[in-house]
């Protein structure tokens, strides 16, 4: 059989260990990479952007499929839990983390979400990763494990550049831990060239924790900087203030000022920069939190 241009051009080995210990042993070797849903990895293999010596499929490891939620401990998402499982099988996600729920519903198509995982979305470390901005607004943490042991890191400290992160060879994301800080409302606004199956031109997650009480507004963006970006400066500015048109205007300007977009096939830097100002206002308006004076 002729190997056509779409086929994966180079050889590698494949392993599917049943235990975490075996997997971590295998991954400690240079050239070995983990996969979950393989939706990013297969595309990169085909495009010759990834040439691993071996692939360690983590899907057979039982403990990575765990999901739990409680108000005391928050939500713990095992690395192997797919996005559709979060959307369809765990109503706690929609109920307690609505902005995260909206964002994962916008990832790819139904078929993609039957494979795609949040761990893979984070591991891939694209500035466009849709699950990340809402997780940043919810103060998510990662449990990382390797042969040497485990550590917990803040998601905001994980990314170091496009496709880059702090993971060491042999270290994997074991689970994503999302604290529960009270009820929240908000919106994930994703602009893309087409509605389904496209990465974002820009994504904005605006989360309001405890909307009827302390009203803590948080904001994070995708595709406007080398890494997903949470804008603490804007949050500090707006904290405790009445949402007058002037305050909201200044908030949006601070968000915009913190971005450093580039031009690529999905949009120009000028468009992204403009939208980083327009969308925060639009979201606050659509949430009914303020009205522009007419």
Partner 1 sequence: MVIKFTINGDEMEVDVKPNETLLDVLRNKLFVTGPKEGCGNGECGACTVIYNGKPMNSCLILAPEADGAEIFTVEGLTKDGKLHPIQEAFIEENAFQCGFCTPGFLMSAKALLERNPNPSKEEIVEALSGNLCRCTGYDTIIKAVKKAAEKMGARS
Ligand X SMILES: Cc1cc2nc3c(=O)[nH]c(=O)nc-3n(C[C@H](O)[C@H](O)[C@H](O)COP(=O)(O)OP(=O)(O)OC[C@H]3O[C@@H](n4cnc5c(N)ncnc54)[C@H](O)[C@@H]3O)c2cc1C
Q: Which of residues 161-190 bind ligand X (CB under 6 A)?
A: 167, 172-173
Query: How far from 116 is each of 40, 128, 130, CA to CA, in Å?
Result: 8, 15, 12
Q: Does 135 bind ligand X (CB under 6 A)?
A: no
Q: Does 14 bind partner 1 (CB under 8 A)?
A: yes
Return the half-sphere exposure (C-beta side, CA atoms, 13 A cut-off) of residue 3. 6
Among 24, 33, 140, 234, binds ligand X (CB under 6 A): 33
Neighbours of 291 (CB within 10 A): 12
Give the Cα separation of 38 and 32 in Å (integer).
14
Which residues 6+ apart lie within 8 Å of 116 measured at CB? 37, 39, 82, 83, 107, 108
Question: Which residue, 105 or 257, is less far from partner 1 as judged by CB?
Answer: 105
Q: Does 12 bind partner 1 (CB under 8 A)?
A: yes
Distance of CA 66 to the CA centre of its chain: 19
CB of 260 closer than 8 Å to CB of 225: yes
Question: Which residue, 79 or 191, is less far from ligand X as judged by CB?
Answer: 79
CB of 116 closer than 8 Å to CB of 39: yes
Draw the binding track, 208-237, toward partner 1 (x: CB under 8 A; -: no contact): ------------------------------
Among 112, 181, 247, 250, binds partner 1 (CB under 8 A): 112
Give the Cα separation of 161 and 151 in Å (integer).
21
Q: Does 265 bind partner 1 (CB under 8 A)?
A: no
Strands 13-15 and 54-57, sheet pairing: parallel
Among 74, 98, 123, 280, binds ligand X (CB under 6 A): 123
Q: Which of residues 198-217 bind ligand X (CB under 6 A)?
A: 199
Q: Does 127 bind ligand X (CB under 6 A)?
A: no
Size of the chain in residues = 294
130: β partners: none
107 binds, among ligand X, partner 1, none (CB under 5 to 8 A by kind): ligand X
Question: Which residue, 12 or 271, is less far from partner 1 as judged by CB?
Answer: 12
Among 74, 78, 98, 120, binds ligand X (CB under 6 A): 120
Give the Cα separation of 177 and 180 in Å (integer).
10
Residues of this chain that interact with partner 1 (CB under 8 A) are 1, 6-14, 16, 35, 37-39, 42-43, 45-46, 55, 57, 59, 84, 108-112, 114-115, 195-197
Residues of this chain that interact with ligand X (CB under 6 A) are 33-41, 43, 58, 79, 107-108, 112, 115-117, 119-121, 123-124, 128-130, 167, 172-173, 197, 199
């Amino acid at each position: 059989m002729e190997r056509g241009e779409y086929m994966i051009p180079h050889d590698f080995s494949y392993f599917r260990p049943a235990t975490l210990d075996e997997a971590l042993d295998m991954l400690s070797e240079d050239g070995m990479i983990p996969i979950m849903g393989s939706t990013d990895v297969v595309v990169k293999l085909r495009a010759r952007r990834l040439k691993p010596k071996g692939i360690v499929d983590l899907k057979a490891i039982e403990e990575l499929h765990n999901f739990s939620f409680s108000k005391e401990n928050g939500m713990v998402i095992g690395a192997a839990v797919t996005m559709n499982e979060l959307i369809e099988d765990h109503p706690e996600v929609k109920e307690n983390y609505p902005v995260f729920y909206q964002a994962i519903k916008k990832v790819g198509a139904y078929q993609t979400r039957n494979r795609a995982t949040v761990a893979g979305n984070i591991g891939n470390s694209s500035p466009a990763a849709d699950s990340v901005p809402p997780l940043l607004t919810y103060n998510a943490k990662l449990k990382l494990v390797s042969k040497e042991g485990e550590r917990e890191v803040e998601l905001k400290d994980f990314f170091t550049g496009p496709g880059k992160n702090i993971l060491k060879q042999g270290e994997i994301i074991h689970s994503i831990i999302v604290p529960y800080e009270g009820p929240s409302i908000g919106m994930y606004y994703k602009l893309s060239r087409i509605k389904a199956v496209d990465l974002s031109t820009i994504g904005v997650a605006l989360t309001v924790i405890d909307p009827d009480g302390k009203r803590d507004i948080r904001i994070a963006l995708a595709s406007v900087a080398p890494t997903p970006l949470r804008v603490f400066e804007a949050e500090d500015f707006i904290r405790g203030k009445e949402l007058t048109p002037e305050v909201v205007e200044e908030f949006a300007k601070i968000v915009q000022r913190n971005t450093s977009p580039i031009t690529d096939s999905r949009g120009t830097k000028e468009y992204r920069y403009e939208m980083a100002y327009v969308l925060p206002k639009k979201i606050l308006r659509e949430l009914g939190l303020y009205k522009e004076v007419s």
